[in-house]
Amino acid sequence: MRRILSRLCCIAMPAALLIPAGAVSRTSSQKASGSSSVWTEETRVERKTKPNRRARRPRPKIEKVRLLTLEYRVLKRAQDGSAVEANPITLFHAKDRVRVSIKANQDGYLYIINQTEDQTGKVIDPPHLIFPDSRIKDGQNFVKMNEEILLPGFCSPGYDDHGVCWWRMNDKAGSEVVILIFSRDLITDLQDNTAAGVVKPSYIAQLKASSEQRVRKTSKPDLSPSQGGGAGRYITWVTNTNTKDNEELIERISLNHAEASHN
């Protein structure tokens, strides 16, 4: 991970590129992310029992609930220090500063994993679990509906930007990959497959393979201004539309970075 981003902070997980590694902040917000059936409408879902889950409450066979949906925004630091929404497919350059904002459309358990890939897609720094983190919410990863999670959320004194932390890109080509896992129930065996903060790649592959999710992405610019969309908005909703397996939602965000020109 060290190859893509330069350090913002001296608090870091060993071998982690995201600086500070595991740095996530949260701010509670009761304001909905917009009016849309994707975000608010309930539908009949067949609950599926999985061996590595612990339910918060008795699980009925059929339940009327919202389809699991995550919202994310890639935020770039503007010259005046403000955060502006960037197109997720943006190619970032050396010294660009970036944050990621994440929200869920319902209560649930959020896990965030980071790995770094070179420009060929080869993993050059293994997947690190960056949320939950003991420094955030005492290690609790149960999030509320519309609760905003910001990456990174803290950094050491002297390394922040007027109280705000950013990831700063360096001059190496590749991708910083953030894997989001949002589950209705607590995933019980992730800890057994994590050592020194590194998640076994085989476990991530197994988790994906065991999910029958059907992912649909909706871009906020496609919505009307009254729904929080319109030109100039770069907000992505990701939904698991499978009503027969709606137990988790797994999404991958790639922050792509260009090789700096030394001419």
In the prediction, which pLDDT does 135 show? 75
In the prediction, which pLDDT does 254 show? 93
pLDDT in tens, 79-90: 998 999 999 999
Q: If the chain, 263 residues long, is cut into consecutive pieces of 10 residues, what is the mean pLDDT of each piece? A: 43 36 44 64 95 91 97 94 92 91 97 92 92 82 94 70 81 91 97 95 96 91 66 88 98 91 65
In the prediction, which pLDDT does 108 show? 97
pTM of the predicted model, to two decimals?
0.85
pLDDT in tens, 107-139: 999 999 999 999 899 999 999 998 988 877 788
For residue 12, give every residue at least 6 positions away whose Cβ sits within 8 Å of its Cβ, in sequence order, or none. 19, 20, 21
In the prediction, which pLDDT does 3 show? 44
pLDDT in tens, 3-33: 445 433 433 333 333 334 344 554 444 444 5
In the prediction, which pLDDT does 33 show? 52
In the prediction, which pLDDT does 2 show? 43
In the prediction, which pLDDT does 137 show? 78
In the prediction, which pLDDT does 98 show? 92
